[in-house]
Amino acid sequence: MSVQTKKQTTDNPKIIGRLLLVVVAMFGFGFALVPLYDVFCDVTGLNGKTGDKVNFETAPTVDESRLVKITFLASLNESMPWEFKPQQNFIEVHPGKPTTINYIAKNISSKSIVGNAVPSVSPGLAAAYFQKTECFCFTQQELKAGEEKIMPVTFIVDSELSDEINEIALSYTFFISKQNNEDLADNNLTAKSINTFK
Amino acid sequence: MNAVVEEHHDHDHKPTGIGRWLFSTNHKDIGSMYLWFAFTMFFIGGALALLIRAELFQPGMQIVEPEFFNQLTTLHGLIMVFGVIMPAFVGLANWQLPMMIGAPDMALPRMNNWSFWLLPGAFGLLLASLVMSLMGLGSAPNFGWTFYAPLSTTYGPDSTDYFIFSVHLMGISSVMGAINVIATIMNLRAPGMTYMKMPIFVWTWFITAYLLIAVMPVLAGVVTMMLTDRNFGTSFFDAAGGGDPVMFQHVFWFFGHPEVYIMILPAFGIISSIVPTFSRKPLFGYSSMVYATASIAFLSFIVWAHHMFTTGMPVAGELFFMYSTMLIAIPTGVKVFNWISTMWRGALTFETPMLFAIAFIFLFTMGGFTGLMLCIAPADFQYHDTYFVVAHFHYVLVTGAAFSIMAAVYFWLPKWTGNMYDEKLGKLHFWLTCISANVLFFPMHFIGLAGMPRRIPDYALQFAEFNQIASVGAFVFGFSQLIFLYVVIKCVRGGEKATDKVWEGAHGLEFDLPSPAPFHSYTTPPVVK
């Protein structure tokens, strides 16, 4: 044993300490991946994530020579008791020109529900060039029982958009907001309660 | 040398009764407990697998409900990965590392005790959910061993919280085991044993331990996020609250890919110990083996998204993960060629451990090749989530990792018990296992390529024949393991005495110790030249 003790360059507590530090750091790294992932997607536009509200100080130049077709999609998370669709299925726009279109949402349940819409743009690489100046997805939307509401989106397709992309699909999915999960649990409306029911 | 050890042997203060096991700080006792634990879990996980194969024997619903089938696939995967392969390797490390590096015991014996005794708790929780499911008290985890959100968050059964806590405990256990391995290897090597003189099994475990320390905390992190998503209103993986379910897959596979190398690197070490012994030649390309192991470990951190080609990644991402995954074939190929070169012109004999080792080399390489097929992104769109993937990972985990564990047990059992195992029965076990494993897993390649999805209890009629063949193989494979159990018990109880060297071509410090190895290994460190 004595030979080994002399040979030791680092004693056990030091090794344990250092390795535990790595353990804590890697545990933190797991959580750090969450914001890193968002930053990565924002920067690269991967994953079809669109950015937050864009404010133009000067009107962007309109590229009259080009038309881009925007297709509108609407879907509901499975347990969402709403009706939700775009007023028109597609529109052709010149890049740089602000355009407003409407979605229509209707609450067909007997309760007031807060929902939030999550946008997604496909192809993912176009996401960074699809800029929304006004959108119902920026805030939570509340619909009372039976209420119908027109939900406008104003957007500009950046004229820097690659020539290879001539069609963009914009999709919204409405989710039941976590804000009202509690009240709705009794109503078998939330995903969790539906699962329990099954 | 031997005289010194034997003299000391008489002064072993072996505790008696249940306390010997509960409070054990002895690397051999703890190693044995790990191995028996893994063996028990192997039979439990195997029983679940046989239920799965019985259900899939014919198309249509036969024995179990679809909901229960999902619980079977989930628990089978979790038990085999976390309850069999990983604890068995830790058990082998406990037994072998101190003997191989000339140490008296592991560096942190009390922590060693704790890291083992967390496991029965962890699996007690996990299996409790299965027992409750059988009693009709709700579902056991049913989302696959990869527990993708939202299946495990929004839609997870109540028992998911049992699962989460169980994974936490397994993670703590693995991390403590890994710290112990690193401290032992860094501090307790015999004088003269430099890093580049360590046996390959020690090297592979050294690197595996670092992998464990790097990724088990990430697994703990991801299940913690699940826990708060489920119970405390966070939205890490919930799109409704601004989270992203795809991110779950990224974080999970950041753990999950290094995890698959955690389950194979020690196997490489075992095969690298066995092949030279029965070829009566030193290992070919020792240093290239070390560097290959280290490169595989490094590459394992940058390939995770090859599990996610179909999530809608951009082409640049698919190409990056495709090429980086293909790179892993190079260091792995180095290893396979080294093993073959070691055998080349050797004086080969084919005792049971060698048979398992040769089967490992051949069948693991096949699993590696199907891995290469899967890493080709455009082709993966066809293979993704089919039985082809099931065939692939069972070739690397059963005929790979599990075969290496069986080889290791046959190889070192005489050293552990002092008795030779029954060679005839060992060979019978090998041939039954090897043939039935191929009958079981080989047809899965075909049904996978033909489009049968994994994790389903029913399938289209045209897949019936291959599924029947696989099911027959499964039952032969499963019951063959009873022979293994019998051979091990018989060997522990007695038999022809093993010599200290055990095998004619054996090398290494563990074979300088008497058989059975004394309770405390090297109390006086040997000098390595």
* A residues 41-60 closer than 8 Å to B (CB): 44, 46-48
Q: Indicate if the pLDDT at residue A192 is higher than 60.
A: no
Is B174 assigned a catalytic role?
yes
Structure-token pair, residue A25: 């750091």
User: Which tops the pLDDT comparison, A14 or A187?
Assistant: A14
- Check if the beta carbon of residue B419 is closer than 8 Å to that of residue B495: yes
Write down the pLDDT at residue B244.
85
Is B139 assigned a catalytic role?
no
Highest mean pLDDT among A77-81, A160-164, A190-194: A160-164
Please give, rounded to a whole number of angstroms, the shortest distance from the CA of B155 to a CA of chain A.
6
**Which DSSP state fits B527?**
P
Whether residue A178 lies within 8 A of chain B, CB to CB, comes out as yes
The model's confidence at residue A112, banded by pLDDT at 50, 70 and 90, is confident
> Angle CA(B62)–CA(B63)–CA(B66) in degrees, nearest 5?
85
Structure-token pair, residue B192: 């003269």
Choose, from B27, B168, B189, B257, the residue flagged as catalytic: B257
Question: If residue A107 lies in a helix (H) or strand (E), which one and from where to where?
Answer: strand A99-107
User: Which tops the pLDDT comparison, A131 or B6?
Assistant: A131
Write down the pLDDT at residue A139.
83
Decide if A1 and B525 are in contact by the 8 Å CB cutoff: yes
List the single residue in A with minimal CA-CA distance to B314.
A46
Q: Indicate if the pLDDT at residue A187 is higher than 50.
A: no
The tens place of each residue's pLDDT in chain B, 529 residues long, gives: 444 444 444 456 677 788 889 999 999 999 999 999 999 999 999 999 999 999 999 999 989 999 999 999 999 999 999 999 999 999 999 999 999 999 999 999 999 999 999 999 999 999 999 999 999 988 999 999 999 988 999 889 999 999 999 999 999 999 999 999 999 999 999 999 999 999 999 999 999 999 999 999 999 999 999 999 999 988 899 877 778 888 999 999 999 999 999 999 999 999 999 999 999 999 999 999 999 999 999 999 999 999 999 988 888 889 999 999 999 999 999 999 999 999 999 999 999 999 999 999 999 999 999 999 999 999 999 999 999 999 999 999 999 999 999 999 999 999 999 999 999 999 999 999 999 999 999 999 999 999 999 999 999 999 999 999 999 999 999 999 999 999 999 999 988 999 999 999 999 999 999 989 998 888 888 988 7
Write down the pLDDT at residue A183.
53
Edge-to-edge, what's the strand order for the sheet holding A99-107? Answer: A82-86, A99-107, A148-157, A130-135
Q: How far is CA B468 from CA B35, B128, B447, in A?
A: 32, 31, 11
Chain B residues within 8 A of A20 when measuring between CB atoms = 179
Is B105 assigned a catalytic role?
yes
Q: How far is CA B469 from CA B58, B66, B438, B443, B455, in A?
A: 11, 22, 10, 7, 18
Write down the pLDDT at residue A185.
44
CB pairs under 8 A between A and B: 121
Write down the pLDDT at residue A135.
85
Structure-token pair, residue B187: 């501090």
Chain B residues within 8 A of A38 when measuring between CB atoms = 244
Choose, from B29, B55, B105, B229, the residue flagged as catalytic: B105
Measure the CA–CA gap between B221 and A133, rounded to whole angstroms: 37
Measure the CA–CA gap between A61 and A59, rounded to whole angstroms: 7
Is B490 assigned a catalytic role?
no
> Angle CA(B501)–CA(B33)–CA(B427) in degrees, nearest 5?
50
Measure the CA–CA gap between B134 and B128, rounded to whole angstroms: 10
Write down the pLDDT at residue A51.
66
Decide if B313 and A46 are in contact by the 8 Å CB cutoff: yes
Write down the pLDDT at residue A9.
60
Q: Give me the DSSP letters along B428-486.
A: HHHHHHHHHHHHHHHHHHHHHHTTPBSS-S---GGGHHHHHHHHHHHHHHHHHHHHHHH
Q: What is the ipTM of this complex?
A: 0.84
Edge-to-edge, what's the strand order for the sheet holding A68-76? Answer: A90-93, A68-76, A167-176, A113-122, A141-143
Write down the pLDDT at residue B215.
95
Decide if A77 and B254 are in contact by the 8 Å CB cutoff: no
Of A33, A47, A125, the CB nearest to B246: A47
Chain A residues within 8 A of B225 when measuring between CB atoms = 30-31, 34
Write down the pLDDT at residue A49.
66
At A30-62, the pLDDT tens digits run 999 888 887 877 776 666 666 666 666 676 778
- Check if the beta carbon of residue A49 is closer than 8 Å to that of residue A127: yes
Is B433 assigned a catalytic role?
no
Whether residue A33 lies within 8 A of chain B, CB to CB, comes out as yes
Is B332 assigned a catalytic role?
yes
Chain A residues within 8 A of B106 when measuring between CB atoms = none
Alpha helices (runs of H) in B188-199, residue ranges in sequence order: none
Question: Which residues lie below 8 Å from residue B215, measured CB to CB, with a gap of 6+?
Answer: A26, B254, B255, B258, B259, B262
Chain B residues within 8 A of A26 when measuring between CB atoms = 213-218, 221
Decide if A15 and B183 are in contact by the 8 Å CB cutoff: yes
Is B129 assigned a catalytic role?
no
**C-alpha torsion sign, points B528, B177, B115, B261:** negative
Please give, rounded to a whole number of angstroms, the shortest distance from the CA of A118 to a CA of chain B.
7
**% residues pLDDT > 90 (chain A):** 19
Of B183, B254, B313, the CB nearest to A16: B183
B1: helix, strand or coil: coil
Helices and strands of chain A, counted as H and E runs: 4, 9
